[in-house]
Chain A
Amino acid sequence: MSDPGWIREAETGGRQVLSAGGDWTVTGAGALEAAVKSLKPKDEPDVALDLSDISALDTAGVWLLRQAARRYEEAGASVAWEGVAERFRPLFDLVAENEGHKPERPPHANALIAAIARLGKTTVEGWHEAVALTAFIGLATITGLRACLRPRRFRLVSLTNQIEQTGLNAMPIVGLMAFLIGIVLAYQGAIQLRKFGAEIYTIDMLAITIPREIGVLLTAIMVAGRSGSAFTAQIGTMKVNEEIAAMQALGLDPMEILVLPRVNALMIALPILTLFSIFIGMVGGAAMAIVSLDMAAVQFLNRLQEAMTIKHFMVGMVKAPVFAYLIAVVGCYQGLRVSGGAEGVGRLTTRAVVLSIFLVIVADAVFSIMFAAMDI
């Protein structure tokens, strides 16, 4: 049923006639535009534009026909429209009314200047973000303290729900990761230490690194990727749907309802997960040590008892709530900062994960220096 559109010029009876026919619709607009552009107006005073052969027309077609007429008018001709079917009249009026409202594209800036401007903008934004994050931490702390005065505000249902999602549901993956890391550490350690005939110290190495560093750090990174991102995505989507605005309008405090349970939940869940991951990591290490070092389980345990002290374990466990706080606060903060739809949710979720892992590692470095100064 489609009948490709055409336009051609002819001289009939001493008059220039431009006739168009076929389907002038958006489906064929690419070809029609080329045809219109290839029209070559000469200096003729009068041109008739004859549309009587047109079978179908839509707004794109009308726009192109007007474009054709305009080419002749710009060359100094006066164009007479002929053979316009009555049913197409409103379409012509519609296009005529709405034509020429094209917004101007902003001029392109110099690439170098644009790059410098972007650098400056990023720097200033980074500074603003640091200030805003600090303010947010302050606000979260105040909200938390205020909630201590009215314990009902701790929202137990929401808290347990979040603990389940961030803690309980994370156990399989955290356990698997810790087990594998334990195996890798024991294996690599044994190979290297065997060169010195000091294989037995593999156990010491496991007993120090897993409780003190690896257990808590890897668990925190896993939780940042798993729960920190979820916080941003959940809160960000609520922000996009104006749910946050609705809460505020109803006198509900989003800090108290959304942020506080998440921060508290993670500060409970992450230490438990850390404990779990240290245990499983040691099991993995032990399995590998027993297999590859040909050591009896009893011997392993004896050595472990000597090497492992409560000190290393406490160092690891002290860090866990701090890491949890950083991850939860960054996740919630980025969620509340979302603006402008689904794309914003994605962008800030990525940012939350990167920023929280970065802060966790910075905090770990600070702890190391602190514990070294304290001779722990």
Chain B
Amino acid sequence: MTIEPVIQIRGLINRFGRQVVHDGVDLDVMRGEVLALVGGSGTGKSVLMRTILGLNRPHAGTIELLGADVARMDANARAATQTRCGVLFQDGALFSSLSVTENVQAPMREHLRLNQGLMDELAALKISMVGLPPDAGPKRPGELSGGMRKRAGLARALALDPEIVFLDEPTAGLDPIGAAGFDSLIGDLQRSLGLTVVMVTHDLDSLIAICDRIAVLVDKKVRVGTMAEHMEDTHPWIREYFHGPRARAAFGAADRGKG
């Protein structure tokens, strides 16, 4: 695998009013890796994701996404980049006036010219891939459970088989079996499509199972490293995170799984 950054963030500063959320964030995401983004509530994980996608204008700093500067993109370049990125928002953000199938087809309809028949087939494939039953297709988002909405949002994120997917807490609200299935789905896609995944997660099992590197948001900055490197870190929050009782339980389970 070539080591080529698909996202490059330099000196990013984000603030809302007087509240500084990010203060000099540097981050590289390599092609084909699964990068987890962790941090306490309100440390700016979702804001960082939105900023990378150009949905939030940073106060300072540069972001390169797939080789183009996010701040300076024109409309065409932006559309081209968007077809190569898939996003799952924290609360699903499905279009409430469309059925699940139409939600999945929305990006195809916007960016490609495909027959309705083919779009139906591809949408059904995606819906099944994320573990939704076929009868979920014609339903409106309002008629789904929280976990099902999350899966439908993932199906929409994967609609165009993107190169990078951004997932904001994908396994929150899923049952443990579903969450494990999701981990293996991401693993499969990453291996076969060379998918790059940027994933906000608090799910330690996912971290252990599929993440190559972990970016921790502490003190308004990002510290990136592998699991082993973070285990050595002396920052109190990071210590607590990787050595707390839940982390020990998850590591224990992972070891038992291997052994």
B120-145 to A contact mask, C-beta < 8 Å, 1/0:
11101111110001110110111100
Nearest CB in chain A to that of B130: its residue: A98
Contact (Cβ within 8 A) B114 A91 = no
Contacts A88-B192, A90-B188, A339-B142 given; does A26 touch B161 at CB 8 Å: yes
Neighbouring A residues of B101 by C-beta, 8 Å: 103
Neighbouring A residues of B97 by C-beta, 8 Å: 341-343
Contact (Cβ within 8 A) A26 B192 = no
A25 CA / B125 CA spacing, docked (Å): 15
**B56 part of interface (Cβ distance < 8 Å):** no
**A58 part of interface (Cβ distance < 8 Å):** yes
B79-97 to A contact mask, C-beta < 8 Å, 1/0:
0000100000000000011
Q: In angstroms, how far is the closest chain B Cβ from the Cβ of A94?
A: 5
Contact (Cβ within 8 A) B96 A343 = yes
Contacts A26-B112, A59-B126, A102-B124 given; does A33 touch B118 at CB 8 Å: yes
**B191 part of interface (Cβ distance < 8 Å):** yes
Categorize the interface residue count of chain B: 35 or more
Contact (Cβ within 8 A) A341 B125 = no
Which of the residues B83, B108, B191 comes within 8 Å of A87, measured between beta carbons? B191
Contact (Cβ within 8 A) B112 A341 = no
Most buried by B among A30, A103, A240, A342: A103
A88 CA / B188 CA spacing, docked (Å): 10
Q: In angstroms, how far is the closest chain A Cβ from the Cβ of B77?
A: 16
Which of the residues A27, A101, A106, A340 comes within 8 Å of B140, measured between beta carbons? A340
Chain A residues 55 to 101 lying within 8 A of chain B, measured CB to CB, are 57-60, 63, 87-91, 93-95, 97-99, 101
Contact (Cβ within 8 A) A90 B96 = no
Most buried by A among B115, B122, B125, B142: B125
**B113 part of interface (Cβ distance < 8 Å):** yes
Contact (Cβ within 8 A) A59 B128 = no
Neighbouring A residues of B249 by C-beta, 8 Å: none
Q: In angstroms, how far is the closest chain B Cβ from the Cβ of A31?
A: 9
A27 CA / B160 CA spacing, docked (Å): 8
**A29 part of interface (Cβ distance < 8 Å):** yes
**B193 part of interface (Cβ distance < 8 Å):** yes
Q: In angstroms, how far is the closest chain A Cβ from the Cβ of B119?
A: 9
Contact (Cβ within 8 A) A29 B118 = yes
Contacts A103-B137, A339-B142 given; does A33 touch B114 at CB 8 Å: yes
Contact (Cβ within 8 A) A60 B161 = yes
Contact (Cβ within 8 A) B129 A98 = yes
Neighbouring A residues of B191 by C-beta, 8 Å: 87, 90
A101 CA / B125 CA spacing, docked (Å): 7
Contacts A59-B126, A60-B122 given; does A94 touch B114 at CB 8 Å: no
B135-166 to A contact mask, C-beta < 8 Å, 1/0:
10110111100000000000000101100000
Nearest CB in chain B to that of A347: its residue: B97
Can you give 22 A-B contacts (C-beta < 8 A)?
Answer: A26-B160, A26-B161, A27-B112, A27-B160, A29-B118, A30-B114, A58-B161, A59-B158, A87-B191, A90-B192, A91-B192, A94-B129, A98-B128, A98-B129, A101-B125, A103-B124, A103-B134, A103-B135, A340-B96, A340-B142, A341-B97, A341-B140
Neighbouring B residues of A30 by C-beta, 8 Å: 112-115, 118
Which of the residues A63, A88, A98, A341 comes within 8 Å of B142, measured between beta carbons? A341
Q: In angstroms, how far is the closest chain B Cβ from the Cβ of A243?
A: 14
Neighbouring B residues of A29 by C-beta, 8 Å: 112, 114, 118, 122
Most buried by A among B138, B158, B192: B192
Neighbouring B residues of A102 by C-beta, 8 Å: 120-121, 124, 134
Which of the residues B108, B127, B137 comes within 8 Å of A26, measured between beta carbons? B108
Contact (Cβ within 8 A) B96 A59 = no
Nearest CB in chain A to that of B84: its residue: A27
Q: In angstroms, how far is the closest chain A Cβ from the Cβ of B141?
A: 6
Contacts A30-B118, A63-B122, A101-B127 given; does A58 touch B193 at CB 8 Å: yes
Neighbouring A residues of B137 by C-beta, 8 Å: 103
Contact (Cβ within 8 A) A99 B188 = no
Chain A residues 259 to 316 lying within 8 A of chain B, measured CB to CB, are none
Which of the residues A57, A94, A99, A342 comes within 8 Å of B96, measured between beta carbons? A342
Known contacts A103-B135, A340-B96; 11 further A-B pairs (Cβ under 8 A): A59-B126, A60-B122, A63-B122, A87-B194, A89-B192, A101-B124, A101-B128, A102-B124, A341-B97, A342-B96, A343-B96
Contact (Cβ within 8 A) A59 B141 = no
B177-218 to A contact mask, C-beta < 8 Å, 1/0:
000000001001101111000000000000000000000000
A103 CA / B133 CA spacing, docked (Å): 9
Contact (Cβ within 8 A) B122 A87 = no
Q: In angstroms, how far is the closest chain B Cβ from the Cβ of A92?
A: 8
Neighbouring B residues of A240 by C-beta, 8 Å: 142
A240 CA / B125 CA spacing, docked (Å): 30
Contact (Cβ within 8 A) B192 A99 = no
Contact (Cβ within 8 A) A59 B188 = no
A240 CA / B189 CA spacing, docked (Å): 34
Contact (Cβ within 8 A) A59 B124 = no
Chain A residues 103 to 139 lying within 8 A of chain B, measured CB to CB, are 103, 106
Neighbouring B residues of A91 by C-beta, 8 Å: 188, 192-193
Neighbouring A residues of B83 by C-beta, 8 Å: 27
A205 CA / B216 CA spacing, docked (Å): 76
A32 CA / B138 CA spacing, docked (Å): 27
Question: Which 9 pairs of residues, A with B, have the shortest CB-CB distance?
Answer: A341-B96, A58-B161, A340-B142, A98-B128, A91-B192, A343-B97, A102-B124, A101-B128, A101-B134
